Amino acid sequence: MRVNITYNKQKYVANLTNPLDISIPIAQNGVNAWGVDNMQINPVNSGEWIGDVEMGSPVNFNNIFFNPHAHTTHTECLGHISPEKESLNQELLTFFFISDLISIAPKKVNNDFIITKNLIKKMISKEDNIEALIIRTIPNSKSKIHKNYSNTNPPYLSEEAARYLVSIGVRHLLIDLPSIDKEDDHGALIAHKTFWQFPENKRHGCTITEFIYVPNNIKDGKYLLNLQFIPFKNDASPSRPVLFKLEVK
């Protein structure tokens, strides 16, 4: 199926039969961060009955314990840092966006690797009219889909970079890191607060999606993004961003 799309007076065609999934699934050998326990999938055990076909049950019937921020691709909203605890399920009400995928090698600054404003500015500007930006960090290996990031000081976004994204109109940011902020920043969360303009001018409806994985065979460029998530009433939810290549009509 091919659909015609017009965005900022430019006409595109998207092939919906060729989806490109850039999510990391919730799995016992999947990603982890923030020092939390590994996720758990266990059959319900009521004493006389165990929800496992291998143990005689007619169905597999599992309880799943996980943290969306630590164990999978997740999308978060303003409620992640707000005392009002806004729910993603109420904050994000549309699910298709024109997006740009860019690849960036973070810059080493002292002992950190940082995605700076200048690195981003070299690749995109306000004239690009980017609603959703997808950042793939380099190097990019498959180890990202099962890495434990706890106490590894992963790359992160500078405050100036986050402010630049706001200034050029980016409303949805997707990145292949556990956070856009430094792992141990003593709770400052500067990039999150800057992107959401918290608390002075809250950007309702804007989202940050972390822990994506963009395989190397997906090239930089424009895509139709379908940002799917589980309708939890929570600040964040496991999500499944799916891309469709856009061709200029």
* pLDDT, block means (10 residues), the chain with 249 residues: 89 94 95 96 94 96 97 98 97 97 97 98 93 98 96 98 98 98 97 97 98 98 97 97 93
CA distance 156 to 175: 10
CA distances to 119, 156, 199 from 122, rounded to whole Å, are 6, 18, 29
Spell out a b/e string for 120-154, using b for 16 or more CB atoms within 10 Å of the CB, else e.
beeebeeeeebbbbbbbbeeeeeebbebebeeeeb
In a domain, 88, yes or no: yes
Query: Domain for residue 135, yes or no?
Result: yes
Which domain range does residue 146 map to? 2-25+68-248
In this structure, is residue 121 part of a structural domain?
yes
User: Residue 225: inside a domain, yes or no?
Assistant: yes
Task: Say what the pLDDT of residue 1 is.
Answer: 87
Enumerate residues 6+ apart whose C-beta is below 8 A from 83: none
- Does residue 46 lie in a domain region? no
* Residue 232 in domain: yes
Say if 127 falls within a structural domain: yes
**How many beta carbons lie within 10 A of that of residue 21, not counting itself?**
18
Do the domain assignments include residue 41?
A: no
User: Three-class SS of residue 119?
Assistant: helix
Q: How far apart are CA 237 and CA 205, in angstroms?
A: 14
Residues 140, 212: Cα–Cα separation, whole Å:
12
Tokens of 193: 């607060």
pLDDT at 144: 97
pLDDT given for residue 208 in this prediction:
98
Q: Would you call 97 helix, strand, or coil by DSSP?
A: strand
Which CATH number characterizes residue 221's domain? 3.50.30.50
116-137 confidence digits (pLDDT tens): 999 999 999 988 999 999 999 9
Q: Which of 70, 63, 72 is nearest to 40 (CA)?
A: 63
Please give the Cα distance from 174 to 128 (Å, whole number). Answer: 17
What does the pLDDT read at residue 47?
A: 86
- Least Cα distance to 179 among 201, 149, 199, 202 occurs for 149
Q: Per the structure, how many domains does the chain have?
A: 1
- Residue owning tokens 């050029």: 168
